[in-house]
Structure formats: structure tokens, C-alpha cells
Amino acid sequence: MIPLQVLSIIFALFMLYIARIHHKKGHMETFEYALWAFIWVAFMFAAIFPQTFQGIAETLNISRVFDLLVIIGMMILTFLTFQNRIYFKRLEKKLENVIRKRAMDEG
């Protein structure tokens, strides 16, 4: 096992631990926790058995499995960034409405 694989496994275990802590504190619903747990277990599987994804990489004309994982990671980060922005905008609008209502009630 190469050092990058060991580092990847340690990182995935750490992230599983962080997800579990947030689930226990009630910051995460069970479905969301299960989804993140699946993602990190799949990440560990990919780190331990990269040859499993060789067929997918070859089908997509990607030379190395690592490149495939980087591409998938970037896609996930882009999606999460987009979702985070949508959530932030909704929260901003709710806050603006609460402040506006409060100002009208006091004024």
C-alpha cells in the first residue's frame, strides 16, 4: 500500500468520525449521515482497490484511475458549492423577511 492510499484511508476514517459526531449532535439527519457514510466508505474502497475503477476509466478514455477520481471529486465539489449557494440565498431571503417584518411591527 502506497503512502497516498494510507493517507486517503486515514482521511476517510476522520471524515466518517466527523460525520458521526455531527449526526449525534443532531446537526445531520439520519439519511444525510448515511449518504456521507456511504461516500466515505466508497472513497476508502476506491483508495484500497483502485484497479476496480480501471474499466470505467478506460471506457471514458481516462488514462489513470486517479484522474477519474479527481474528476468525480471536482464534480461533487461543484455540486455541493452550488447547493450551498442556493441554501445561503434562501437563508438570506428568510432573514431579510424577518428583519423587514420586525421593522414594520416596531415602526
First to last CA, the chain: 68
Domain locations in the chain?
A: 1-48, 66-107
pLDDT of 1-48, one tens digit each? 788 889 989 999 999 999 999 999 998 899 999 999 999 999 899 889
Q: The pTM is what?
A: 0.67
Higher pLDDT, 70 or 99: 99
pLDDT of 43-67, one tens digit each? 899 889 988 888 888 888 888 888 8
